[in-house]
Amino acid sequence: MGFGLIVIGDEILSGRREDKHMRRAIELLGARGLALDWAEYIGDDRERITATLRRTLAGPDIVFCTGGIGATPDDHTRQCVAAALGVDLALHPEARELIALRIAETANGDPVKADLNQPENQHRFKMGEFPVGARIIPNSYNRIPGFSVADHHFMPGFPVMAWPMMEWVLDNRYAHLFHQDTEVSRAFYVFEAPESTLTPLMEQVEASFAGIRVFSLPSVGDAARGDKFVRRHIDLGVKGPADMVGPAYAMLLDGVRAMGFEIVEQ
């Protein structure tokens, strides 16, 4: 079981809006000792969304999905989830109550606006039509809920709504998974070193310590970080079980030092 993220919306793929969900998902998971294993971006295409969800729903992963659960013509997620599961959409009773409460709140005492039989309000109830068997995800921002089916959790594309909903799901559904992974990491910067020169040492470290993974993140230079980092450098390190990271890190650090390259520890 891993954690995945699906971000839906043409506006992300066209560049009209920049995705912020992946960074926030990483932060929320990391604060709980968890990690994001994969992410996918999909446009507002029903066939592609349905095919993706059919695949991920058949897998073991916990998946957060943002976008497309509204009731405008370009919102398809609710329908695609139902199609992927082979079930109908139906107005969820609790969602209806929450939407009705929101209608009353926004009417500000106007009996016409508060009339649930008004066409506009009837249309709002479509936002509570979820696949049969879905569970509610509360929305602290405006009450309009998201929904869950199995270990897939669907929420709006708006960060102000999606992020608290994601936290709620984690804290109420998956607290038993928090901080179970003892994996840690340590790294240092190496300056003006070709990756090809370092690769044999990296392979030797991984071969010497089962469960240790070496990572190498090269940069051609980053002036914003100061004079030293204007030069070519590599963010080099190890990650894995806490009891092995220390000796693996020491082996990697000593090996690079022996090659004579400049090092700055993090």
The tens digit of pLDDT for each residue in 86-125 reads 999 999 999 999 999 999 999 999 999 999 999 999 999 9
Please state whether the predicted TM-score (pTM) of the whole model is above 0.85. Answer: no
DSSP state of 88: -
Axis crossing angle, helix 77-85 with helix 46-57, rounded to the nearest 10: 50
| C-alpha dist (Å) from residue 216 to 86, 135, 219, 239 | 44, 42, 10, 11
142 CB-near residues (< 8 Å, 6+ apart): 102, 161
Task: Quick: pLDDT tens for 189-222.
Answer: 999 999 999 999 999 999 999 999 999 999 988 7
According to DSSP, the residues that pair with 3 across neighbouring strands are 62
DSSP state of 154: E
Residue ranges matching CATH 3.40.980.10 in the chain: 3-177
Q: What is the percent of the chain with per-residue pLDDT over 90, rounded to a whole number?
A: 89
Q: Is the CB of residue 75 less than 8 Å from the CB of residue 164?
A: no
Residue ranges matching CATH 3.30.70.260 in the chain: 183-265
Q: Tell me which fold the domain 183-265 belongs to.
A: Alpha-Beta Plaits (3.30.70)
Q: Which of 11, 21, 71, 72 is nearest to 42 (CA)?
A: 11
CA atoms within 13 A on the CB side of 90: 9
Does the pLDDT of residue 223 top 80, yes or no? no
**What CATH number was assigned to the domain covering residues 3-177?**
3.40.980.10
According to DSSP, the residues that pair with 55 across neighbouring strands are none
Helix then strand then coil, % of the chain, to nearest 5:
45, 25, 30
Does the pLDDT of residue 34 top 90, yes or no? yes
